């Protein structure tokens, strides 16, 4: 979120929208609470949908039929990316079928249980068509900067990284 927020502040024209299945507050790890802007039912069309990872993605969301259907529907008309174990949600939805993907090292064995996914390890992120997956939290920052670079150019991505005090190669 920080990468896209800084890019929006520096360049403009980037709207960030958070959502949950029912629009209710999400309780994340370590006490993080996110009050979504919308629910699945009233979400706008996205140019890019990012599926976060974590314990909830690994243990709950990838088994939730509404979440899987939402991701699948958006993957047909937008770019879709995952951070960390969000790749498991994409795999369960069939979005990674026939694609190369990665996830956090601790979940590579789970991702390999999806036989139609070509799993790679030892990389920060993978882009395959309109789908991108990243290995973990900091790798998600790398992926977000790559998306900003692709959409808005090298200078904007470099400026975002500099603003964040993030090493960007």
Of 84, 93, 101, 131, the catalytic one is: 84
82 vs 57: CA distance, rounded Å: 10
Rounded CA separation 92/47 (Å) = 21
Tokens standing for 64? 């939730």
Distance separating alpha carbons of residues 57 and 122, to the nearest angstrom: 21
Q: For residue 22, which of 8, 35, 6, 7 has the smallest C-alpha distance? A: 35
Strands 38-39 and 125-128: unpaired
- CA-wise closest residue to 60 among 115, 21, 106, 16: 21
84 has catalytic annotation? yes
Q: Provide the annotated active-site residues.
A: 84
């Amino acid at each position: 979120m920080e990468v896209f927020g800084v890019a929006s502040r520096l360049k403009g024209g980037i709207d960030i929208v958070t959502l949950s299945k029912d629009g209710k507050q999400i309780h994340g790890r370590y006490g993080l609470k996110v009050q979504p802007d919308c629910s699945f039912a009233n979400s706008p069309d996205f140019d890019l949908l990012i599926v976060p990872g974590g314990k909830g993605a690994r243990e709950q969301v990838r088994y939730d039929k509404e979440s899987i259907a939402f991701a699948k529907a958006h993957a047909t008309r937008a770019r879709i990316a995952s951070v960390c174990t969000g790749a498991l949600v994409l795999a369960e939805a069939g979005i990674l079928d026939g694609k190369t993907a990665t996830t956090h090292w601790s979940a590579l064995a789970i991702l390999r249980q999806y036989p139609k996914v070509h799993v790679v390890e030892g990389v920060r992120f993978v882009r395959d068509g309109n789908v991108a997956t990243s290995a973990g939290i900091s790798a998600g920052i790398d992926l977000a900067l790559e998306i900003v670079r692709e959409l808005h150019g090298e200078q904007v991505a470099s400026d975002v990284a500099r603003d964040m005090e993030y090493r960007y190669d």
